[in-house]
Amino acid sequence: MRNDSNADEADDPDTNSDEAKSLDLLSNPLTPNHPMARLIQSLFKHSGGKSADAASQAGGGKPVAKPSRRPSGGRRVNIGRRIASAAHRFIGGNYSGDARYPEWDESSKRYRNDWVTVHELEPWNPDGFRDHTALARIEVMRAPTALTRSLARNVLEIAPHGRNEFGEQLHTDGVVDLAYWRRSRSGSPPLPFIGKKRQRPGVAALVLLDVSSSTLDTTARVDGETGSVFDQHLKMSYRITTALDALGVPVGFYAFRSWGREMVHVMPIKGLRESLSALTIERIGHLSPAGFTRIGGAVRHCTAILERQTEAMKRVVILVSDGHPYDDGYDGAQASGDTRHAMSEARLRGVGFVCVGVTAPNSNESHVQRNALDSASALHVANISGIERQLGKLIRQALADARRRGDHSSFTVPA
């Protein structure tokens, strides 16, 4: 005999509606199929590998800027890391796992192995897609001509291109043609030299945007309007990415923020092997400043991305940030020291490093910026145009510095 209440529920057309599903979230959380129950189960579900408890020890030696995914047998799983990963899956964003990196301990002058956990995940804003004026301008923006020309002089390699009247290297066929022309004097004289032109990308780049809460500060009036540091940095990052992409340079666009050493978020806006598309704009629309600025972990992760995806090429990381590293247990000398070491590790691996940013008026961060960043690789001015005029020169200097340090270093990338 069929239960009447079950019959009524089966006949109710709204049982499987969105409203019913929403009410299900408010039902008893102890039921097996309740979303909160599934979250709790994922926290304590047995996993194949266990995380290292790096908080209890600090290791010295050379910087290991490669993600560590090795299980540590018998050690207790770090609950904070599991809560973070389970929360990402529960929210519904595309979560691609985590990677662990060392961090420099300024007080003991040693590295803390496997100290920072970086989560790479899709940008996601609980308030939905941001459709404001700055984003609308980005959607219709094209590659800026002045910036593209400036970058072309520094990121494109000179390659043979046809023949020329003057040059440094003779063209074999051109010399033969010139000898024949001198005897016959028919037609116009041939061009005997090899022509050269900047036409081949000689570098791969990754633009890394700081989306921490500190970028909510207001900048001075630029182009007739006042905006936040985040808006200016977002616009500049997109312009740099667009200009490099127009030159045929493999370029990635990522954003980062952090909530302690266990939750450094690195979010892909445009992958190195992706094209600028509507997906890029959609990801930008989900960016929202929040959290803190643990620069070292983000830089090490992006250096690893460049190494994995761009072999046998000159590489450069362009950090767009206010240059003020800060996080839980990560400030002052500790933050500055680790940021400097992350930059040095990148250069020792042959990856150039540049940091640019717009400073807010009456900012007191110049001392912090000087301590955390090398003056040769950092540029913080009052407006975007000042950065765009000098960016190409900064990239050229950064690549030369990385090549020089890499050639004179015994540093080897661990297998």
Helix (H, G, I), strand (E, B) or coil at 368: helix
CA–CA separation, 58 vs 74, rounded Å?
Answer: 19
Question: Per-residue confidence at 253, pLDDT binned at 50, 70, 90?
Answer: very high
Please tell me the predicted confidence (pLDDT) of residue 197.
55
CA–CA separation, 60 vs 210, rounded Å?
Answer: 29
Question: Per-residue confidence at 47, pLDDT binned at 50, 70, 90?
Answer: very low
Please tell me the predicted confidence (pLDDT) of residue 317.
95
pLDDT at position 10 over 50: no
Per-residue pLDDT of 292-346, as tens digits, reads 999 999 999 999 999 998 876 789 999 999 878 999 999 989 999 999 999 999 9
Instruction: List strands edge to edge, sheet with 378-381.
Output: 95-105, 110-121, 264-270, 251-258, 203-210, 314-320, 351-358, 378-381
Q: Which residue has the higher pLDDT, 368 or 370?
A: 370
Please tell me the predicted confidence (pLDDT) of residue 352.
92
Mean pLDDT of 97-109: 91
pLDDT at position 27 over 70: no
Mean pLDDT of 146-163: 70
pLDDT at position 67 over 80: no
H/E element, 381: strand 378-381
Give the least confident one: 57-61, 185-189, 204-208: 57-61
Mean pLDDT of 59-80: 44
Q: Which residue has the higher pLDDT, 252 or 141?
A: 252
Residue linked to tokens 């194949």: 48
Q: What mean pLDDT value characterizes the chain? A: 72
Domain 133-153+200-407 belongs to what architecture?
3-Layer(aba) Sandwich (3.40)
For the entire predicted model, the pTM comes to 0.68
Neighbours of 4 (CB within 10 A): 8
Please tell me the predicted confidence (pLDDT) of residue 409.
52
Mean pLDDT of 8-24: 50
Please tell me the predicted confidence (pLDDT) of residue 50.
40
Question: Per-residue confidence at 257, pLDDT binned at 50, 70, 90?
Answer: very high
pLDDT at position 89 over 90: no
CB of 268 closer than 8 Å to CB of 277: no
Please tell me the predicted confidence (pLDDT) of residue 53.
40
What type of residue sits at position 239? R
pLDDT at position 268 over 80: yes
Cβ neighbourhood burial of 25 (10 Å; 0-12, 13-18, 19+)? exposed
Highest mean pLDDT among 49-58, 96-105, 340-349: 340-349
CA–CA separation, 123 vs 209, rounded Å?
Answer: 13
Please tell me the predicted confidence (pLDDT) of residue 301.
96
- The DSSP bridge partners found for residue 357 are 380
Mean pLDDT of 88-99: 54
Please tell me the predicted confidence (pLDDT) of residue 404.
83
Domain boundaries of the chain, sorted by first residue: 133-153+200-407, 159-197
Q: Give the 3-state DSSP-derived string for the chain, with helices as H, strands as E and coil as C.
A: CCCHHHHHHHHCCCCCCHHHHHHHHCCCCCCCCCHHHHHHHHHHCCCCCCCCCHHHCCECCCCCCCCECCCCCCCCCCHHHHHHHHHHHHHCCCEEEEEEEEEEECCCCEEEEEEEEEEEECCCCCCCCCCCHHHHHHHCCCCCHHHHHHHHHHHEEEEEEEEECCCCCECHHHHHHHHHHHHHCCCCCCCCEEEEEEEEECEEEEEEEECCHHHHCECCCECCECCEHHHHHHHHHHHHHHHHHHCCCCEEEEEEEECCCCCEEEEEEECCCCCCCHHHHHHHHCCCCCCEECHHHHHHHHHHHHHHHCCCCEEEEEEECCCCCEECCECHHHHHHHHHHHHHHHHHCCEEEEEEEECCCCCCCHHHHHHHCCCCCEEEECCHHHHHHHHHHHHHHHHHHHHHHHHCCCCCCCC
Question: Per-residue confidence at 379, pLDDT binned at 50, 70, 90?
Answer: confident
CB of 302 closer than 8 Å to CB of 286: no
Give the least confident one: 3-17, 151-165, 195-209, 392-406: 3-17
Mean pLDDT of 74-101: 52
Q: What percent of the chain has pLDDT over 70?
A: 55
